[in-house]
Copies of this chain bind each other. A is one copy, B any other.
């Protein structure tokens, strides 16, 4: 691999995405992408005693499903990159504690899934491993409990708030295969424009998405029309519009081939999810379900996947801090 431009890593022997898997909650299964997901929980607990344990079970089942679909023996998986939104990423660590796969914990908030794809690609192209698993989860109930209000309070949510996706996505990357290939990784810088409203994450994260988008175009010499689709992770309806405007102001028109996983996963009119989906599983499931299918069927041949994250916690909000945003991008091509 080599570093090109300011911050982009270009892979010399781009890793193949061998298989993916996605498991979602009931609400996600009522949305427009339902036919692309592998499995749906019957309820938010999925037989567990807590939402945290349910989330961990989702990640575990999704990870093992991706491995099974790949036909690669679990003992041949070299490493695993995983992360989630729960404090100290316990969804991931409890899910994978019996797997015997060396575990490398990552945290990029809702950008975690793409951070994992990028790191796994660096490992594989560099020769550190041949098969690497990437996975990330989130859960509406555990996230609301931890970041906002207990669901039992029945609080009203403002229209700018997003709905954390319940589910997990997993992808297995390999050194050999027929693609889709991860060709570039543009890790993002932290961008904090001073937004403090934890119910408007889209606005807080859009400037970070812009920064990574511009860096990627500058480093690679590409422009928006190079890609069949540019997909952000969870800017939602509010953040999506902001990113379109910000890009326009920088001379890039992304309107025709740009969308957001948080916009795609729910039906805005029918599902009462306000500004759209969010969470590690938003990008994780939409990529592992819908986008990977589009790539396999060659409906998309080149996509830029930019997962966005808000690097705050409830204590930082209580202490009056603004919300630092980040966005990591990978270019995936057939």
Contacts and interface: CB of A to CB of B under 8 A. Distances in A.
Contacts of A236: none
A106 B103 contact: no
Interface of A: 1-3, 7, 9, 49-50, 52-53, 78-79, 83, 85-90, 93-94, 96-109, 115, 119, 122-123, 125-130, 187-192, 311-316, 319, 321, 324, 326, 328
Nearest to A75: B6
A12 to B, nearest CB: 8
A127 B88 contact: no
Contact of A315 (B79, B90, B96): B90
B7 A105 contact: no
Contact of A102 (B189, B311, B314): B189
Contacts of A3: 78, 127-130
A108 B109 CA distance: 15
B312 A90 contact: yes
Given A87-B87, A97-B192, A122 B115 contact: no
Contact of A88 (B102, B107, B115, B123): B107
A192 B125 CA distance: 32
Contact of A126 (B79, B127, B189): B127
9 contacts: A2-B128, A86-B315, A87-B88, A88-B311, A104-B106, A104-B108, A122-B128, A123-B126, A126-B128
In the A-B complex, the 10 residue pairs with the smallest Cβ-Cβ separation, listed nearest first, are A126-B126, A93-B311, A88-B313, A97-B190, A102-B187, A105-B107, A87-B313, A87-B87, A107-B107, A97-B324
Contact of A119 (B1, B93, B119): B119
A14 to B, nearest CB: 13
B7 A78 contact: yes
Contacts of A88: 85, 87, 107, 109, 311-313
Contact of A90 (B100, B187, B313): B313
A83 B314 CA distance: 17
A326 B107 contact: no
Given A88-B312, A105-B311, A190-B93, A126 B115 contact: no
A105 B187 CA distance: 10
A332 B85 CA distance: 33
